[in-house]
Chains A and B, each alone.
Chain A
C-alpha cells in the first residue's frame, strides 16, 4: 500500500535571482525527499516561469513588460545588482563553483515532479497571459487553490 506523500507548498513572490534560487533548491530538495511540491508564482515571481517575450496590452502594461521583461535569466540578485553587473558577477561565481543556473534548476524541479502554478490575479494586473509562460507551467490558479494545497501541506513557505 502506497502511503500518502507529504507535501510542500510555497508562494514565490520575489523575482530576485537569489530568492528564486533558494525556492528551487528547497523545491528540488523536498522532491528528492519524496514530497509533493507545489510552487505558486505571484507578482514579481511570475518572471520565473515566463518565456522571454514582451508582455502587456495597455500603455502601462507594455511599459512594465519593457522595464521588467525577459525571463528567469534576467533576474538579478536582491542586493548588489548594479544594473546587471551584479547578476553577471554572481553568474560567473556560481558557474565557477559548478552551481547550476536557474534554468537548469527549473528543469530539474520539473523533472522531479514539482508543479509550477502562475497566479491569475497578478497575471491580470501585470498583463501577462497564459501564452507567455513556459510549457512546463500549469494552468493559472487563484489563492483558493493555494490555500487548499497549503492546508494539506506539512511545510509552507513564502519567498
Chain B
C-alpha cells in the first residue's frame, strides 16, 4: 500500500499542550490551498481527540494519522 500524501505545509507542534495544537492548526489552515494538506506533528495525547474533533467542527478532514514513538502525526486536508 503506497500512500504518498503530498504535504503542503509541515507544522511542528511538539511539546505544545491543549489548546495550542488545534489553535496552531487553525491559524495555519488558510496557508494551504483548498485540497491542500498540513502535516502536523504533536506530542500532547489530548490532540489525538482534539485534532479530529477540530476537523469535524470546521469541516476539514484528517486523512491519515499515525504514531511514531512519541510523535502523533496528523495529515489534515483543507476542504473549504
Cβ–Cβ contact A34 & B23, under 8 A: no
Cβ–Cβ contact A29 & B17, under 8 A: no
Number of interface residues of A (CB under 8 A): 13
Interface 1/0 per residue, B9-33 and A, CB below 8 Å: 0000001111110110111000000
Cβ–Cβ contact A112 & B17, under 8 A: no
Question: Which residues on A sit within 8 Å (CB–CB) of B16?
Answer: 98
- Least CB distance from A100 to B in Å reads 8
Number of interface residues of B (CB under 8 A): 14
Which of B15, B22, B27 contacts A33 (CB under 8 A)?
Answer: B22
Which of the listed residues A25, A31, A33, A97 has the most CB atoms from chain B within 10 Å of its own CB?
A: A33
Instruction: Report the separation of the CA atoms of residues A100 and B15 in the bound assembly, to the nearest whole angstrom.
Output: 12
Q: Beyond A29-B23, A32-B22, A34-B57: 13 further Cβ-contacts under 8 Å? A: A25-B18, A25-B19, A29-B18, A29-B22, A32-B25, A32-B26, A32-B54, A33-B54, A33-B58, A34-B26, A98-B16, A98-B17, A112-B27
Name B's A-contacting residues (CB within 8 A): 15-20, 22-23, 25-27, 54, 57-58
